Amino acid sequence: MGYELSNRLVVGIASSALFDLTESGAIFREQGEKGYRDYQEEHRDDELRPGVAFPFIRRLLSLNNLNAADDPLVEVIVLSRNDPDTGLRVMRSIASHGLPISRAIFRQGRSPYNFMPALNMSLFLSANEQDVREAVSSGLAAGHVLGAPHEDDLDDDDLRISFDFDGVLAGDESEQVYQAGGIEEFRAHETRNAAIPHDAGPLKEFLAGVNRIQQREEEERGRNPDYRIRLHVSIVTARNAPAHERAVTSLKEWGLRVNDAFFLGGIDKGEIMKILRPHIFFDDQETHLVSTSRTTPSVHVPFGKINEVAEADRRPA
């Protein structure tokens, strides 16, 4: 019988999100593919430095100690544009950092995101914006990591995950109302529909997988009262009263939960992140991530109409 992925939380990670490839990327741009290949061969045994998503991935994988070694809760698989030869440095760096990642797909210069459904992936993270946009356009859950890597505080083994709501956990129907009619029409629309759950957004299934791990933690605490809960989830959204109610209703109807909710009503999310200190934050609007990415590993989920318009505006006439 083959290795079964259906009952695990599976995350795809590009080497560009897991490691800091600033230097390697510069070599590729300046010297082309041959120069890049020669550089990676020469530095094959040089450990790559952690990238934006490294702390999140390391802490997520650490939750596997809740289960037997042959039945991990989390599976992380490398999805890379490297070829197998240049990918050796990536795999050696993974081993050097002690990350329990053994599966990888290397596709020479081609995007690997289309293998996500075959691997039961509920999330793919990459620093390649085009790959992420294509994945999301194909109905897959993907995010573009932003900013520079952040120092990982090793004082604890907690994992804090934060989500925006509209366009991330939920669809963007209400965001479209806001863009078309302004804040008052948005609030009126949400009040009228307070009891009607939203359609699912791209990261709803990822949250469902995170909740399954949280349930496993609760079971562990039931057996061992000294067990300390490590995984914490929050939503940090520009919604406020009365629009908050529909967000809570939607989560409840989906059978999902979060530990904390911040209904900010337009307050800068970056200031909240400085105190909340999540290891990763997902938002569908790049403007919100300008401030959060200064202190927090941040991920742009290019989903919904507002991102379609932004992408169209960026294309040459």
CATH of the domain at 128: 3.40.50.1000
Mean pLDDT value across the chain: 92
**Could you tell me if 41 and 130 lie in one domain?**
yes
Out of 146, 178, 199, a domain closes at 146
153 is catalytic: no
**Could you tell me if 192 and 270 lie in one domain?**
yes
* Any domain includes 1: no
The model carries a pTM of 0.94
| Lookup result for tokens 């609007």 | 285
Amino acid 21: pLDDT: 84
Q: In this predicted model, which residue has the larger pLDDT, 42 or 49? A: 49
pLDDT of 1 higher than 70: no
Amino acid 13: pLDDT: 98
Which of 131, 164, 166, 172 does the annotation list as catalytic? 164
pLDDT band at residue 268 using 50, 70 and 90 as cut-offs: very high
* Any domain includes 3: no
Digit-coded pLDDT (tens) for 74-116: 999 999 988 888 889 999 999 999 999 999 999 988 889 999 9
Average pLDDT in the 267-291 region?
Answer: 95
Amino acid 83: pLDDT: 84
Average pLDDT in the 264-275 region?
Answer: 94
Nearest to 276 by CA among 260, 299, 291, 257: 260
* Any domain includes 151: no
Domain that holds residue 272: 159-314
Out of 120, 146, 172, a domain closes at 146
pLDDT band at residue 312 using 50, 70 and 90 as cut-offs: low
Average pLDDT in the 259-286 region?
Answer: 95
Amino acid 313: pLDDT: 63
Amino acid 113: pLDDT: 93
**Could you tell me if 140 and 187 lie in one domain?**
no
Amino acid 41: pLDDT: 82
Q: Which of 151-155, 170-174, 288-292 has the lowest mean pLDDT?
A: 151-155
pLDDT of 73 higher than 80: yes
Digit-coded pLDDT (tens) for 115-171: 999 999 999 999 999 999 999 999 999 999 998 898 887 778 999 999 999 999 999
How many domains would you assign to the chain? 2
* Any domain includes 153: no
Q: Measured between alpha carbons, how far is residue 38 from residues 24, 41, 96, 149 in Å?
A: 11, 5, 21, 26
**Could you tell me if 50 and 174 lie in one domain?**
no
pLDDT of 205 higher than 60: yes
pLDDT of 262 higher than 70: yes
pLDDT band at residue 315 using 50, 70 and 90 as cut-offs: low
Residue 205 and residue 183: Cα distance in Å, rounded? 29
pLDDT band at residue 243 using 50, 70 and 90 as cut-offs: confident
* Any domain includes 139: yes
Out of 91, 118, 146, a domain closes at 146
**Could you tell me if 310 and 163 lie in one domain?**
yes
Amino acid 314: pLDDT: 66
